[in-house]
Structure 1
Amino acid sequence: MTLTMNPKGRPSAARALPPARDPWRRTGGAAVRGRTGVLPRVLAYCGLAALAVAVLYPLCWMALSGLKSNGELFTAPWSLPAHPRWDNYADAWNQGTLRYLLNSALVTSASVLAVVLISAWAAYGLTRLDIPLARPALLLVLGGMMLSPTVALVPLAQLLQALHIYDTYWALIVLYTAFKVPFTTFLIRAYLLSLPSEVEEAAHLDGASRWQTFWQVVVPMSRPILVSAAMLQTLFCWNEYAFALVFVTDDRLKTLPVGLADMAGRLNSDWPILFAGLTIAALPMIIVFLLGQRHFIRGLAEGVGK
């Protein structure tokens, strides 16, 4: 601040002008920052590219190995098939892969539907309803995450035999649902806690019932976390081996993991057909995750992240 004389002879305050900015310095600083930011981006892209290769290469190798002969697979395991044998995929399909695929699809679809519905209802009740003993009920649900499926194989076998559902589809559906409801309830509850309750209150003021509010307001707003929960349950059911091995003995009811293991014994080390069957088994999961990856990432980020 400096003092100057106005036309009447009185001192007046005048602001000091800011120093002129150097355009070369401004552009030079941006250039320096740009150069320093290039290296982290390059390293990040290289890391992502390496991760993509590590994930995709085994899948591609498995699919290409299903097109080779047994001798070619062992003599040139890393080369492309000289003469692709598409009959291997047809043989794997006819060896029982179709039946195992349908069994896995049935069990997985039923358990996913049951887990998502039960967990969504439970999470809604624990977060939006004033129910007695809500805190002990939440602790009881979370305590179910501590149960080990492997330790409970013997009592579960006795229980399923007493319920007359041993060696049926229902044995796997009930177990897959029971062991995943606690975790899925915890997942959906964390997401519902982050949702504003004003929209539901407005629906109540408009005359909507609790049932209508749940289906028409809460479920559409919770679509990302519901898709994430469904995809996690799908991955678990599709790859589960212990329950499918112990509680289902009928060959017509076996799921893909157990069925492919049995098929490997029947094929007498015909590895290309086995790789073809593994490729067929992996395709549904790849398609599911490609279709739902946007909701899956958003649901986990907004649910567990909060």
Structure 2
Amino acid sequence: MGKNRSAFWAKFFSYLVLGLIAALILIPLLWGVLNSFKTNDEFFKNSLALPKEWMFSNYATAWQSGISDYMLNSFVVTIISVLLICFVASLASYGLSRFQFPFREVIFYSILGGLMVSEYCIIIPLYNMFAAAGLRNTHIALYIAYVTLQTPFSVFLMRSYFLSLSKDIEEAAFIDGCSILGIFFRIVVPICRPIIFSCAIVSAVSVWNEFMFAMVFIDSQSLMTVPLGLQTFQGQYASRWCITLAACVISSLPLLLTFLLAQKQFVRGLAAGSVKE
């Protein structure tokens, strides 16, 4: 009886804490969504009340004012960056987990050292390097910066996942005459899709929301990504917060939908990559 009561209260407080955390996350989001449908007068009179008149035109105004162009740039930058991150990280992780060579562990921990380097420490050297190479105010500068910053964490997760896999299938394929790259692309990559997909989602969120490098490296409005575009958008509609909130909601939808559609694979990949058998 006492054990059942203790289990009940433990579960009750666990759900209570989780509910409070969920409320802290969801209430500001709900506030932003509701206020994006209000008129400016309604917003300043009472930002906590429901809209009296649902202004769907706020979303049309936000879309026509340039948010669509910023989202297109973000899609291009995010997709190319994530593909490069997954390609580089998967090859590096496979080599570090399957082959014995001098200084293998040193190389691995040197890569992990990138997790401890703040972006603020490298932004000035990167700026000078890109300016000298003529890459400033191009998306190529963003690709290089994002791949450099996001690859170490992906290597950490993927290497742990590769180490947990049996080598039997790979050894059999090698005996049958399959090359190392053939084994990697035909056998390892299909098996490791969950962890690759998880790393892709984590990297995509970071790249999509990144602001500092975009602000420093990009000047042309036609090349701006969503975070940088929202800053200029806020200046354009400084007194019309409802339209700015509508733009924020629109810009958050792609990643939200992606995660909702693939959350099972995402969680499974992270869980598998966090432990080593």
TM-score (norm 2): 0.93
**What residue number does 2:262 align with?**
292
**What residue number does 2:185 align with?**
215
Classify 1:150/1:32 alpha carbon distance in 2 versus 1 (closer, same or farther; 3 Å): closer
Deviations 1:201-248 (A, max 9, x none): 122233322122111221122122111111111111111111000000
Q: Give yes or no for contact 2:161–2:275 (8 Å, CA) kept in 1.
A: no
**What residue number does 1:232 align with?**
202
Q: 1:195 and 1:104 mapped to 2: Cα distance? A: 35
Say whether 1:175 aligns with 2:145: yes
**What residue number does 1:166 align with?**
136
Equivalent of 2:119 in 149, 154, 168: 149
**Considering only aligned residues, what root-mean-square deviation do their CA atoms show, in Å?**
1.7
Q: Secondary structure at the match of 1:208?
A: coil
**What residue number does 1:11 align with?**
none
Q: Secondary structure at the match of 1:82?
A: coil
Q: Which amino acid aligns with 2:167?
A: S
Higher relative contact order (CA 8 A, sep 6+): 2
**What residue number does 1:127 align with?**
97
Q: Which amino acid aligns with 1:184?
A: S
Q: 1:185 and 1:37 mapped to 2: Cα distance? A: 39
Greater Rg, structure 1 or structure 2?
1
Give the C-alpha shift of residue 34 in structure 1.
4.0
Question: 1:1-306 alignment to 2 at 5 Å?
Answer: 33-306=3-276
Q: 2:9 and 2:115 mapped to 1: Cα distance? A: 43
Q: Which runs of 5+ in 2 are unaligned?
A: none
Q: Which amino acid aligns with 2:104?
A: A
Report percent identity of matched pairs.
38
Q: 1:58 and 1:120 mapped to 2: Cα distance? A: 37
Give the C-alpha shift of residue 41 in structure 1.
2.4
Q: Give yes or no for contact 1:89–1:276 (8 Å, CA) kept in 2.
A: yes
**Normalized per residue, which structure has more helix?**
2
Q: 1:117 and 1:291 mapped to 2: Cα distance? A: 23
